[in-house]
Structure 1
Amino acid sequence: MSRRSFAAALAALAVPGASAAPRPEPGAAGAPGRGGAASGEMRGMWVATVTNRDWPSRPGLGADRQRAELTAHLDTAVRARLNTVILQVRPTADALWPSPYEPWSQYLTGTQGTHPGWDPLGTAVEEAHARGLHLHAWFNPYRVALHTDPARLAASHPARRNPGWVIPYGGKLYYDPGLPEVRAFVREAMLDAVRRYPVDGVHFDDYFYPYPVAGQTFDDDETYDRHGGAFPDRAAWRRDNVDRLVRETAEGIRAIRPGTRFGISPFGVWRNADVDPRGSDTRAGVQSYDDLHADTRTWAAENWIDYICPQLYWNIGFAVADYAKLLPWWAEVVRGTKTSCTRGGAVQGGDPAQSAAWGDPAELSRHLTLAKRHPQARGHVFFAAREVTADPVGAMARVVADHYGRPAGPPA
């Protein structure tokens, strides 16, 4: 995920209509647990590869060094008594496995399309399972590049061969979600990993249509003119495009590898209650339904996804997006469905832009305590591997001491 910085997330929430900066980013079904209590809850950790955020530590390392760094993250997850690692394997329309659809990721070697000398995803699945961990493959469906120059992409890149598929926006390149051929291509490119490897899960983050950028327009006029005639407005058409990708991906996963879970980690606010009475008691400047065209409530209600993991990166009592209000709201979203609710939380760092409450080492532990009151809210995923390892203010150690007294069994 390129997950937003904490300060940017607060700004987007506090100022209605504010543009949202991108987030720092951010095995075999039924792999054995490590013994101990079979809690059934997901205890997860994201490992982001975009911009070498968590792993590899920099591009161009040798295969042995990359492998050692990856297994060190898996060992960190074991020490933190987690049971799931969510590894970003398609950060920018590229691949961390030998894909026949897309080039090798530049974050491995420094040059997009260059073979790194090993198979990172295959190794990750094998090594995770050897440690009793589940491995979820994390894909970003539509982001092509963190720049707007197609000539900088590998010569074989599908975005260069199909320039009509690509839209520049906000200093980045994106595939156009409104084109049926794009949706079919990205789905097959992602499902290739599911065919090749016994991954335990497929994971999307919050990026569908891009976060709004002030003063800029995502120019899909031509696509809307060709494909949007049956819809009352462009927003409804865009939501249908995203719904189709989610539903069709779910169908593909279940056909290829039954038992592999499909999860999505949306922005933490679906809609504010003053816009929609079904929404949360929040005052967010970004709403995923309206701005990203992601109708996460529908995905859960229709059982297209197995788990939803909203990014709830705000403290209890935060005025515009109170964790204590958002947690029960999301728990209600999945009530009566086959979709489980796992919360996404950030491991606090020493950033002076953070609020004093968020800097409290006990804050994250309080989130898990509060969740015990809501049986639909099972599990927690921590952003991200770098912070779980460094644990700058001791928040993760507090979570382990307060809540993870016994090793986790496999997630339900």
Structure 2
Amino acid sequence: MGLLGRRGFVAGAALAALATTGASGGRNTAAARTERERAAAARAFRGMWIATVFNRDWPSRAGLQPEAQRAELLAHLDRAVERRLNAVVLQVRPTADALWPSPHEPWAECLTGVQGRDPGWDPLGTAVAEAHARGLELHAWFNPYRVANHTDPKRLAADHPARRHPEWIVPYGGKLHYNPGLPEVRRFVQDAMLDAVTRYAIDAVHWDDYFYPYPVAGQAFPDDEAYARYGGGFPNRAAWRRNNIDLLVSETAARVKEINPQVAFGISPFGIWRHATTDPAGSDTRGGQSYDDLHADTRKWIKEGWIDYVVPQLYWHIGNDGADYATLVPWWDAVVRGTGVELYIGEALYKAGDPAQPAAWQDPKELSRHLTLAARYPAVGGHCFFAAKEVTRDRIGAMAAVVADHYPTWVRSPR
């Protein structure tokens, strides 16, 4: 996700916000809240991400034998069941490569250590079958535009599309990216991702927060040529870039439904759309803004109904001075009301017990309090935890507390 690094907005603050935050609308009584919470718990999304980039969660290292890779994958699925989760979000296209035999892109480097080398088995096909056998949904997580975590095209597989089409890629921030401003790139990345929808019984296409890359101080994203060619008619480059991402989202949404209307399309964006100081429709927050920094108008995608679900990454503690969890949950709840788009909250399990994090994250009950707070808001349909390694390790028992306090039994996903 946009999870490795860059989750700033630290600052301590009081937990008083939890006590003062009430439900939006409806009868403001304890009985009403309990009734809503019970109804929501009967059918809720309980997911976890399994990140493969950098071998973050799985496989534990590149080059394992197929049977060892498979055993590790099944262990993650089994642990999800043990934690009474009902969905896994598996990263299957981490760096413009694939965890299935794709006709468009090479085999993923995270499997064998060599991009393009056949791992000897079908990880995505296995994941779908084994997840469903356990009653878990399998959401296939794709990264549309990230090509490599370096800037040397010669390090890519010899037949990589980025090497065949060097005009498609741009270096920025020490990484290679497909250029979102090129229509041929937009079509290609859709073809590459949707191949998995045609081949497998996945439950959803899932994207995270990587659209245009996060800004790097002192660097400009090098899309002058594309803007000169295609930017006519837009008031500025930012508006053109947002339109490029809007087209990617809306076109993908339509194509997913053409292939299989039962497959959902969900996005897990950065947790802040815009600030109220920037836009009256924004949240009372400070720091980064996906609309301005990533050119990702997540609020528009919801209002237009282009996506089936949204999982904002609310990776801050209750009381955070710049981005308070207790402020952002009701903001997202209000955004999705009446749209038909499901709202699940992305939770920063990886911060729990991390000594580098603020004091709130040293409390095993912080995440449990998140779920208690979120249950007050009718549009919240569940939570997704980053990530699988922490679901297993559970450094200070934060996940165990969530299960004990909120997941007494297994329930179905709301989809």
TM-score range normalised by the length of the shorter chain = over 0.9
Q: What corresponds to 1:73 in structure 2? A: 76
Amino acid at match of 1:247: S
- Kindly indicate whether residue 329 of structure 2 is the aligned counterpart of residue 330 of structure 1: no
Amino acid at match of 2:357: Q
- Kindly indicate whether residue 173 of structure 2 is the aligned counterpart of residue 170 of structure 1: yes
Q: What corresponds to 1:351 in structure 2? A: 354
Q: What corresponds to 1:115 in structure 2? A: 118
Q: Percent identity?
A: 67
- Kindly indicate whether residue 318 of structure 2 is the aligned counterpart of residue 320 of structure 1: no
Report the Cα distance in structure 2 between the residues aligned to 1:410 and 1:296, rounded to whole angstroms: 23
Q: What corresponds to 1:19 in structure 2? A: none
Report the Cα distance in structure 1 between the residues aligned to 2:228 and 2:247, rounded to whole angstroms: 18
Q: What corresponds to 1:253 in structure 2? A: 256
Amino acid at match of 1:9: R
Q: What corresponds to 1:21 in structure 2? A: none
SS in 1 for 2:171: strand
Deviation at 1:349, TM superposition (A): 3.5
Q: What corresponds to 1:9 in structure 2? A: 7
Question: Structure 2 length as normaliser, TM-score?
Answer: 0.91
Q: What corresponds to 1:161 in structure 2? A: 164
| Equivalent residues of 1:206, 1:265 under 8 A apart | yes
- Kindly indicate whether residue 299 of structure 2 is the aligned counterpart of residue 297 of structure 1: yes
Deviation at 1:350, TM superposition (A): 2.9
User: What is the 5 A alignment of 1:12-51?
Assistant: 39-51=42-54
- Residues 13-62 of structure 1 show CA distances to partners (whole Å, capped at 9, x for unaligned) of 99xxxxxxxxxxxxxxxxxxxxxx98331100000000000000000000
- Which 4+ stretches in 1 moved above 4 angstroms? 11-14
| Equivalent residues of 1:71, 1:127 under 8 A apart | yes
Deviation at 1:11, TM superposition (A): 5.1
Question: Structure 1 length as normaliser, TM-score?
Answer: 0.92
Report the Cα distance in structure 2 between the residues aligned to 1:51 and 1:410, rounded to whole angstroms: 29
Report the Cα distance in structure 2 between the residues aligned to 1:278 and 1:38, rounded to whole angstroms: 30
- Kindly indicate whether residue 368 of structure 2 is the aligned counterpart of residue 365 of structure 1: yes
Deviation at 1:4, TM superposition (A): 3.2
Q: What corresponds to 2:23 in structure 1? A: none
- Residues 301-343 of structure 1 show CA distances to partners (whole Å, capped at 9, x for unaligned) of 0110000000001111111000000000001110110111100
Report the Cα distance in structure 1 between the residues aligned to 2:221 and 2:68, rounded to whole angstroms: 40
- Kindly indicate whether residue 231 of structure 2 is the aligned counterpart of residue 228 of structure 1: yes
Q: What corresponds to 1:98 in structure 2? A: 101
Structure-2 change in CA distance of 1:230 and 1:12 (3 Å) = farther
Deviation at 1:377, TM superposition (A): 1.0
Q: 1:125 aligns with which of 120, 123, 128?
A: 128
Deviation at 1:230, TM superposition (A): 1.2
> Gapped runs of 5+ residues in structure 1?
15-36
Amino acid at match of 1:199: I
Deviation at 1:410, TM superposition (A): 3.2
Of 253-262 and 121-130, more deviation after overlay is shown by 253-262
Structure-2 change in CA distance of 1:228 and 1:12 (3 Å) = farther
Task: Report how many residues are paired.
Answer: 387
Deviation at 1:353, TM superposition (A): 1.5
Q: 1:209 aligns with which of 197, 207, 212?
A: 212
Report the Cα distance in structure 2 between the residues aligned to 1:218 and 1:410, rounded to whole angstroms: 40
Amino acid at match of 1:140: N
| Equivalent residues of 2:9, 2:321 under 8 A apart | no
Structure-2 change in CA distance of 1:272 and 1:2 (3 Å) = closer
SS in 2 for 1:174: strand
- Residues 211-247 of structure 1 show CA distances to partners (whole Å, capped at 9, x for unaligned) of 0000111100000000000100000000000000001
| Equivalent residues of 1:104, 1:112 under 8 A apart | yes
Report the Cα distance in structure 2 between the residues aligned to 1:99 and 1:80, rounded to whole angstroms: 32
Q: What corresponds to 2:344 in structure 1? A: 342
- Kindly indicate whether residue 289 of structure 2 is the aligned counterpart of residue 287 of structure 1: yes
Report the Cα distance in structure 2 between the residues aligned to 1:12 and 1:50, rounded to whole angstroms: 25
Report the Cα distance in structure 1 between the residues aligned to 2:341 and 2:2, rounded to whole angstroms: 25
Q: What corresponds to 1:306 in structure 2? A: 308
Q: What corresponds to 1:180 in structure 2? A: 183
Report the Cα distance in structure 2 between the residues aligned to 1:135 and 1:411, rounded to whole angstroms: 14
> Gapped runs of 5+ residues in structure 2?
13-39
Q: What corresponds to 1:407 in structure 2? A: 410
Q: What corresponds to 1:30 in structure 2? A: none
Q: What corresponds to 1:266 in structure 2? A: 269
Report the Cα distance in structure 2 between the residues aligned to 1:345 and 1:11, rounded to whole angstroms: 15
Report the Cα distance in structure 2 between the residues aligned to 1:68 and 1:299, rounded to whole angstroms: 38
- Residues 140-181 of structure 1 show CA distances to partners (whole Å, capped at 9, x for unaligned) of 000000000000000000000000000000000000000000
Amino acid at match of 2:59: P
- Residues 318-377 of structure 1 show CA distances to partners (whole Å, capped at 9, x for unaligned) of 110000000000011101101111000011343221000122110100010011110101
Amino acid at match of 1:10: G
Amino acid at match of 1:57: S
Report the Cα distance in structure 2 between the residues aligned to 1:84 and 1:189, rounded to whole angstroms: 23
